């Protein structure tokens, strides 16, 4: 991070007392400057200070270009600087960092049935082969913490009883193993627990209702962690905190409300809406309210990256979506991107050489 250099005066007479006085003044000025925050590289207004440089890492996200279906994947620093396009060979979306930061999974290439993995440093792409012709799988929604396996949303091609979540080896896409079963419905993987023993996911029932569930990776100990009757987002499967204690999910108060980000303990206790400056999840009729969704934890668990949607009749899509960050308690809202339709952010830690 660049720092502003102070003006240096020439001193004709230097004493120990004078040096100490000057140092004290400079230290005070530096503290006051830090409290006032700094201007974002994109010059977009922000209600909080830029994420601390010590957090490091990069955020990957996708952008809908000009309200069209041409969706492109980018990476960016948490302070909004150094935005770079990741994939150039057509549309790509739903990116997820590998745990070691050496690869990013993307959906691309006109084939949603396999996982496509790209090296963020070299832009080299590799694709996994479909593991079983009897099961249509959409892999890459979640990485196991050791990076060795990928969770997949699966559907029985001819046999509905095969529908559920599976996982495969990330090295070659083989060794298909089943985790959940949901004939007639849909299970979408969200995130593995930090110890790799459990998986959070969203379950869409036959009647259309959705809920956030947790299961052991062998399919046992299935339990709901979102409150019954809640209008849970039916495409976001949850994000598990790095310390294993909490899960982020997305829900609405009613059909007439925007989406909001919720936090629940991993055992299903104490669900509550994340209070983000009072702007997320309010009534659709309130022009001062916004939709907030697609949350993901920072690598150290102190911050959350997410998308905030704002109605904008002048935009091609009728709204704008930008990537923001907040502290884990919802404070210090900070705008990261200024694109027209940005979505699906994921905060990872690439190797130092990336």
Give the domain CATH number at 155: 2.120.10.30
- Confidence class for position 208, pLDDT limits 50, 70, 90: confident
Q: Is 326 part of a structural domain of the chain? A: yes
Residues 339-350 have a mean pLDDT of 91
Q: Tens digits of per-residue pLDDT, 5-63?
A: 333 333 332 333 333 333 333 333 333 333 333 333 333 444 455 554 446 899 999 99
Q: Is 8 part of a structural domain of the chain? A: no
Residues 106-123 have a mean pLDDT of 86
pLDDT for 50: 54
**60: CB partners within 8 A, 6+ apart:** 73, 74, 75, 86, 95, 96, 97, 104, 120, 345, 346, 348
Q: Is 167 part of a structural domain of the chain? A: yes
Q: Tens digits of per-residue pLDDT, 298-336?
A: 999 999 999 999 888 888 777 899 999 999 999 999 999
d(Cα 187, Cα 165) in Å, to the nearest integer? 6
Is the pLDDT confidence value at 176 over 50?
yes
Give the DSSP H/E element, type plus range, for residue 232.
strand 231-232
Q: Is 78 part of a structural domain of the chain? A: yes
Pairing of strands 186-192, 198-204: antiparallel
pLDDT for 234: 94
pLDDT for 143: 97
Least confident of 16-25, 152-161, 206-215: 16-25
Tokens found for residue 232: 């849970």
Structural domain boundaries enclosing 76:
16-348
Q: Tens digits of per-residue pLDDT, 1-13?
A: 222 333 333 333 2
pLDDT for 310: 86
Is the pLDDT confidence value at 352 over 50?
yes
Q: Is 274 part of a structural domain of the chain? A: yes
Q: Which residue has the higher pLDDT, 255 or 69?
A: 255
For every residue of 110-179, DSSP letters joined together read T-TTS-EEE-TTT--EEEPPPS-TTEEEEEEEEE-TTSSEEEEEEEESS-GGG-EEEEEETTTS---EE-
d(Cα 260, Cα 252) in Å, to the nearest integer? 6
pTM beyond 0.95: the answer is: no
Q: Which residue has the higher pLDDT, 120 or 22?
A: 120
Domain tally for the chain? 1
pLDDT for 114: 73
Q: Is 104 part of a structural domain of the chain? A: yes
Is the pLDDT confidence value at 119 over 50?
yes
Q: Is 353 part of a structural domain of the chain? A: no
């Amino acid at each position: 991070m660049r720092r502003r250099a102070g003006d240096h005066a020439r001193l004709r007479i230097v004493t120990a007392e004078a040096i100490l006085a000057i140092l004290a003044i400079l230290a005070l000025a530096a503290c006051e400057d830090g409290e006032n925050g700094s201007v974002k590289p994109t010059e977009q207004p922000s209600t909080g200070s830029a994420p601390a440089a010590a957090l490091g890492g990069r955020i990957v996200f996708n952008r809908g270009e000009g309200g069209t279906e041409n969706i492109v994947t980018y990476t960016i620093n948490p302070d909004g600087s150094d935005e770079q396009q990741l994939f150039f060979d057509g549309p790509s979306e739903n990116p997820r960092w590998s745990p070691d930061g050496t690869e990013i999974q993307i959906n691309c290439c006109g084939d949603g049935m396999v996982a496509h993995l790209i090296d963020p440093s070299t832009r080299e792409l590799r694709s996994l082969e479909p593991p079983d012709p009897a099961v249509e799988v959409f892999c890459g929604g979640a990485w196991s913490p050791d990076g060795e396996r990928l969770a997949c949303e699966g559907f029985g091609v001819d046999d509905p009883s095969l529908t559920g979540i599976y996982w495969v080896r990330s090295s070659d896409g083989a060794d298909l193993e089943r985790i959940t079963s949901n004939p007639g419905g849909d299970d979408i993987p969200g995130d593995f627990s930090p110890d790799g023993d459990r998986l959070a996911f969203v379950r869409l029932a036959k009647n259309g209702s959705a809920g956030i569930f947790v299961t052991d990776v062998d399919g046992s100990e299935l339990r709901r962690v979102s409150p019954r009757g809640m209008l849970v987002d039916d495409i976001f499967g949850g994000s598990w905190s790095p310390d294993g204690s909490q899960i982020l999910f997305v829900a609405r108060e009613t059909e007439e409300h925007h989406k909001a980000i919720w936090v629940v303990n991993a055992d299903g206790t104490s669900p509550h809406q994340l209070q983000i400056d009072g702007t997320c999840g309010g009534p659709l009729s309130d022009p001062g309210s916004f939709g907030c969704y697609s949350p993901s934890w920072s690598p150290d668990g102190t911050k959350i990256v997410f998308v905030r949607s704002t109605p904008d009749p002048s935009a091609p899509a009728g709204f704008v979506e930008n990537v923001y960050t907040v502290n884990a308690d919802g404070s210090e809202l900070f705008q990261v991107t200024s694109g027209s339709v940005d979505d699906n952010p994921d905060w990872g830690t690439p190797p130092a050489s990336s």
